[in-house]
Structure 1
Amino acid sequence: MDILLIPGFWLDGSSWSAVTPALTAAGHTVHPLTLPGLESPDADRSGIGLRDHIDAVVQAVDNLDGPLVLVGHSGGGAIAYGVVDARPERIARTVYVDSGPMSDGGVINDQLPEVNGEIPLPDWQVFEAADLIGLTDDLRAMFRDRSIPEPAGVAYDPQQLSDERRWDVPATLIACEFPSVVLQQWVADGHPFVQELARIKDAEFVDLPTGHWPQFTRPADLGDAILAAVDRTGTGAP
């Protein structure tokens, strides 16, 4: 099966390199995506917004045949959900890695500081302690060295959804920073943060305790978790 891997902020497709071996060994075809403006630190990011990233992934979907799986990390989860809304009939499952589906009108993070239309990777002090679990000094240095400024519009633009068939697409949420029971309790309580998640008819929860970047802190385990979710799609052989 084709698996599209959507990175979170400040990262390109190579950020999935330690995650993919389990998927390719099982016979799947992986497509680690590099989104517009993230091609290099010198790339032109002017005018790039959330819809540009969603449209880029929609184009990748349209270039493939048959059902496929989307995997979105962090802000990439909102992008994945925009793609589900645009192509619900093509997506067999969406896997959210320390992320989730973002509601219509929601923004990924409009608190991140913009500098000339882009958002550089902030100092580590900006992040919560739970984000940084497992991110050793060496991993932090590696992450910062490979980081690419995020187009500000991707963080600030509102999500636009229109097709209720998106709620029929199965979802797997891989919870890292806090236990999945917290998410499930928010759903039960009707918390606005998870109102879109509550509408998904088939949502499963998987725990992978670590910080916000499991592709760096627990890549092999993340690969296995994604593979297990893909195997549960019920769409047949790879």
Structure 2
Amino acid sequence: MEKKETFVLVHAAWLGGWQWDATARLLTGNGHKVFAPDLPGHGSDATPAAAIVMEHYVAAITTLLDSLDEPVILVGHSFNGITVSRVAELRPEKVRKLVFLTAFLLPQGASFLSAVQGVEGSSAVDHFYLSEDKTYAFVSEQEMHHAFAHDIPREAFDQAKAYIVPEPAAPLTYQLEVSDAVFGAIPKFYIECTEDHAIPLSVQRAMYTGKVKRSYLLNASHTPNFSQPEKLAAVLLDIASVQ
């Protein structure tokens, strides 16, 4: 009988746990347990952006993991590949597998801002800016659809746009703290998205090559949870079955 897993799905910057709704339904429909929390300042969490640092994101996930009896498959999307990496370093006994969905898989000491320096071919990086007081980060509104979700209709994206929030800036400067002995020992999987206009495919591959147990390919934008939830769920189910 197939073992039932617990998935913790961590959303991307600017979004919230709601981004996983369709994928979560498919996973729970297969008998798995799913948690898709809102990080501070995202979704239904109204913490002011100026008050948020990376430690708050990490604490939100470690607190959830501490409340669970079983180790989980921990999935990080985009920027929050950094968050789940730090969580895995702090709670290795709680993480059975670590999954990066077109996400930042960075080495010790790297940050989001250092990782995107010199990146070419990214609509998100090219149109990224901070608020005047440096507390929020944005991608220009006219570019967001093209950068993140060009493979869903503009009308559908415009409906979702009401739930997109300004991204707290401080976590973007956080320098990742992980070790080969702990983080390095956790089985990792990477889901690359070939049509990603935010993290180009070449950048994805440079980050994960030689670091993962298995990689998967989706011919999708940066947000396959919107455009291809069935295919994304199928990949996650396959990862769950890997011994």
- One fold, TM greater than 0.5? yes
Equivalent residue, structure 2, for 1:166: 183
Cross-structure match for 1:225:
235
Q: 1:29 to 1:96 in 2, by over 3 A?
A: same
- Bigger CA drift: 100-109 or 171-180? 171-180
Cα distance between partner residues in 2 of 1:80 and 1:20: 18
CA RMSD of aligned residues (A): 2.7
Contact 2:102 2:193 in 1 (8 A): yes
| CA positional deviation for 1:76 | 1.7
On the 8 A contact 1:121/1:144 being kept in 2, the answer is no
Please list every run of at least 4 consecutive aligned residues from structure 1 whose deviation after the TM superposition is greater than 6 angstroms: none
1:168-226 Cα offsets, whole Å, 9 max, x none, are: 1111111113599957974xxxxxxx3xx4564x5211011111011111112111111
SS in 2 for 1:64: coil
What corresponds to 1:83 in structure 2? 87
Moved more, 104-113 or 144-153: 104-113
1:156/1:184 Cα in 2 relative to 1: closer, same or farther (>3 Å)?
closer
1:184–1:109 Cα change, 3 Å: closer
Alignment of 1:104-143 (within 5 A): 104-109=108-113, 112-115=128-131, 116=133, 117-125=135-143, 131-143=148-160
Displacement of 1:14 after TM fit? Answer: 1.1
- In structure 1, runs of 5+ residues without a counterpart are 187-193
| Match in the other structure for 2:36 | 32
- Identity score, percent: 23
TM-score (norm 2): 0.80
Asked if the contact 1:139/1:216 (under 8 Å) is kept, the reply is: no
Please tell me the residue identity of whatever aligns with 1:145.
Answer: A
- Considering Cα pairs closer than 8 Å and 6+ residues apart, tell me whether 1 or 2 has the greater RCO: 1
CA 59–90 in structure 1, closer or farther in 2 if over 3 Å, else same? same
Counterpart code for 1:152: A
Q: Is the 8 A contact 1:40 1:148 kept in 2?
A: no
- Consecutive unaligned residues of structure 2, counting only runs of 5 or more, are 115-124
Q: Give the Cα–Cα distance (whole angstroms) in 2 for the partners of residues 139 and 126 of structure 1.
A: 13
How far apart in 1 are the matches of 2:203 and 2:83? 20
Tell me the matched-pair count.
222
TM-score (norm 1): 0.82
Report the more deviating stretch, 56-65 or 135-144. 135-144
